[in-house]
Amino acid sequence: MVMRMPSRVRATGLPERVSIYEVGPRDGLQNEKGIIPTDVKVEFIKRLAAAGLQTIEAAGFVHPARVPQLADAEHVIDALDLSAGQRYPVLVPTVSGLDRAFSRGVRDIAVFGSATETFSQRNLGRTVDESLAMFAPVVARARDAGASVRGYVSMCCGDPWEGSVPIAKVVDVATRMMGLGCTQLALGDTIGVGTPGQVRALIDAVVAAGIDIEVIGVHFHDTYGQALANVLAALQSGVTTIDSSAGGLGGCPFADSSAGNLATEDLVWMLEGLGIDTGVDLGELVSISLWMAEHLGRPCVSRTVRALAGGVADARAGREPATVAQ
C-alpha cells in the first residue's frame, strides 16, 4: 500500500527506538457500553500483533460484575499463542485473578493503583494503603513464579474529584509500588490534564527518588489534546516505553472526565517523523482501526487514521491512492 508518511527528521536528545505498549484490547474495549464478541477481540489482538506490536495488553482478570466487558478473559487468552514472541500482559488486581491468569499460562501481569484516595476508592473500593496491601501478595507470588509485573499509578497529573495532584504524592505511591517488586512503572495521566512541563517535573522527581528511567513508561489520555506533547516531553526525559491504544479507543469507566487514550497511529506518525524506530506498520494499523470502527459502529477518533483512511480505501479497491509517498 502506497500512502503518505511523515518526513523523517531526526531530533537530537531522543531515543533511537521506542517500545509501544498497546492497551486497546484491554483499556480501550473495557470502556465500551456494549459487550464486544470474544472472536472480535481475539482477531483485533492478532491483527495488532501482525502489524508489529510486540506488547499488547490483552485482557483483565477482574471481577466480571465490576467490568463486564472483561468477563471473557480466559477465552481471549486461550485463543492466543503465548509462545509466538509477543507479550500479552493482563490486568490482575487480586490473588484470585493471578491464579486465573497463571492457569492460562500468562506470565506478564499488571496491577492498577492510584495516586489519589478518591479514585482508589471508586476504582478498587479501597484506600491507597489498602490497595497496595492487596497488591503485595499478588506481586510477590508473580515475581516468585518468574513473571513480570507492571505497576500502574493513575491520576498522576490531576484527579476529577481532588483537583491537582502534588508530585510528592505520586512519587510516594510510585516508590511504594516499585518497593513491592514491580518490574515496570507506568505513570498515568488518567484524565488527560497534564502538560509537558508537568510531565518533565514528574519524571525527574520519580527518577530522583531512585526509580531507573529504563523501567518507567507513560500512559496519556488526550482529553485536552496534550498527549503527543506530553510524549515528547517524556522522550526528552529518557522514557522509551509509551502506552497507546489503536484508534484512540478507551477512557476510564470509573472517571467520567477521562477521554480516549492516545491513539497508536498518532503516536507512530510522530515517532516516524522524529526518526524513532517502532517496528510497527502504520498502514496496517490504520486498516485495523478502520475495521474495529466498523465493529463498534462509529468513526475512529484518531486524526492519523482519518487523514490516511482515503488512501487505505483506495488500496483496498485497487485504485491509485489520492496521496503519494514522501
pLDDT in tens, 2-61: 578 899 999 999 999 999 999 999 999 998 888 999 999 999 999 999 999 999 999 999
What is the chain's alpha carbon radius of gyration, rounded to the nearest angstrom? 19
Give the per-residue pLDDT at 269.
Answer: 98
| pLDDT at residue 254 greater than cutoff 50 | no
What CA–CA distance (Å, rounded) separates 246 from 57? 12
182 is catalytic: no
Q: What is the pLDDT averaged over residues 207-220?
A: 98
Tell me the pLDDT of the chain averaged across its residues.
92
Strand order in the sheet with 216-220: 55-56, 19-22, 241-244, 216-220, 184-189, 148-154, 108-114, 90-91, 59-60
Contact 272, 231 (CB under 8 A): no
Q: What is the pLDDT averaged over residues 70-98?
A: 96
| pLDDT at residue 256 greater than cutoff 90 | no
Give the per-residue pLDDT at 5.
Answer: 87
Domains for the chain: give ranges and CATH numbers. Answer: 19-277 (3.20.20.70)
| pLDDT at residue 259 greater than cutoff 90 | no
Give the per-residue pLDDT at 257.
Answer: 45
Q: Which of 269, 264, 207, 261 shows the shortest CA–CA distance to 234?
A: 207
Percent residues over pLDDT 70 in the chain: 91
Partners of 112 in the beta sheet? 152
- List, for residues 141-190, the tens digit of each pLDDT value: 999 999 999 999 999 999 999 999 999 999 999 999 999 999 999 999 99
Model confidence at 250, in pLDDT bands (50, 70, 90)? confident
Choosing from 156, 157, 182, 252, the catalytic residue is: 252
Q: Is 140 left (phi over 0), alpha (psi -120 to 50) or beta?
A: alpha
Q: What is the pLDDT averaged over residues 112-119?
A: 96
Percent residues over pLDDT 90 in the chain: 86
| pLDDT at residue 255 greater than cutoff 70 | no
| CA end-to-end span of the chain | 13
The pTM of this model reads 0.93
